A and B are shown apart, each in its own frame.
Chain A
Amino acid sequence: MSASTSSPATRILGLASAAGMALLLLFALVLSPADVVQEETVRMFYVHIPTALMAFTAFFVTVGASIGYLVKRTEWWDVTAGASAEMGAVLLAATLISGALWGRVTWGVYWTWDARLTLTALLFVLVLGYLAVRRLPVDRDQRARLAAVVGLLLAPTTIACHYATTWWRTLHQQQTVTTTDAQMDGLMLFTFALGMVVFALIYAWLTIHRFRILWLEHRVEDLGLDVAIAERRREAEATEAPAVAGGLR
C-alpha cells in the first residue's frame, strides 16, 4: 500500500469532486443561459457564491472545533479546526478574486471599501492570522489553546460578513438566493445548486486530506522529539562513561 493521506473514502470523494467540477463547467459556461441584466457575467455567480458560502461553512467548522478543543482538550478538535481554516482561507481567496473580477465588469472597479468587501478582507486577514498562530514555535498545547481562542473571533466576523448587505447599505447586491425566494429558475438555479454540491464535495475531500497532513505533522514532530531525546541520552552516556572510568583509576 502506498504511503499517502488517501483512503477509499477520499478516493471516492476526489473522483466525485472531479466529475462534478467537469459537469459544473459544462453547465456554467455552456448550457446555462446568459442573464437579461448581467448578460455573460452571471457565469461568475456559479463560482463566486459557492466558494463564499463554503468558506463561511469552513469558518463555522473551525469555530465549532475550537470550542470543542477548549472543552475537551484533544488533538482531534485542534487538527479539525486547523484543517477547516486552511480550506476556508483558500476558498475565501477564490471568493475575493472572483468578486474583484465580477466587480470590475459590474461596478467598473475591482475593489471598493464597501461594508461587505471590507468585512471579507478583514475575515481573510483574520484567518491568515489564525493560521500564523498555528505555526508559532511554542509548546503544542499552548499553541492549540491560543489558536482556539483566536479561532473563536472568526464567528462574529463571518456572521457580520454574511449579513453585511442586510445590515448596512452596500454597493454589493443583496442575497439573490434565499430559502423562501430563489429569484432564479430553470437551468440557472440548477447550475447554482450543482455548484454548491461540487464545492461542498471539494471542501470535504480536501479538508480530510489537510486533517491527515496536520495529524502526520504532529507525529513527525513527536518522532523528531523522540530522536532528539535519544541522541541527548547517548551524548550524556558517552560523556559520563570516561568520567566514571577516570574515577575508578
Chain B
Amino acid sequence: MLLASVSNATEEHRFQWTLVLLCWSTVLVALGALVVRTVQRGRKLARQVPEEQRRWM
C-alpha cells in the first residue's frame, strides 16, 4: 500500500512537471517566434525605406 502510494505520488509529480515544462516551453517558443519574425520583418522593411526616414538610426 505504501509502495502504491509512493508510486502514485511520483506519477502525480511527473505529471505536474510535464505540464509546468509544457507551459514554459510554449510561452518561450511563442515569444521566440515573435522575436525572429519581428527581426526578419524589420530588416526587410528597413531595406525598402531610405535611411532618413528611419528616425531611430
Contact = CB atoms under 8 A, between A and B. Distances in A.
A94 B33 CA distance: 13
Interface residues of A, number: 40
Q: Which interface residue of B27, B41, B47 has the most chain A CB atoms within 10 A?
A: B27
Given A7-B57, A220-B49, A47 B23 contact: yes
Interface stretch (A64-72, A163-171, A202-210): A202-210
Interface in B31-57: 31, 34-35, 38-39, 41-43, 45-49, 51, 53-54, 56-57
Nearest to B17: A40
B43 to A, nearest CB: 5
Contact of B42 (A4, A39, A101, A104): A4
How many chain B residues sit at the interface, stated as a range, is 20 to 34
A230 interface: no
A6 B26 CA distance: 26
In order of increasing CB-CB distance, the 6 nearest A-B pairs are A5-B42, A3-B46, A216-B45, A40-B16, A7-B56, A101-B23
Interface of B: 13, 15-17, 19-20, 22-24, 26-28, 30-31, 34-35, 38-39, 41-43, 45-49, 51, 53-54, 56-57
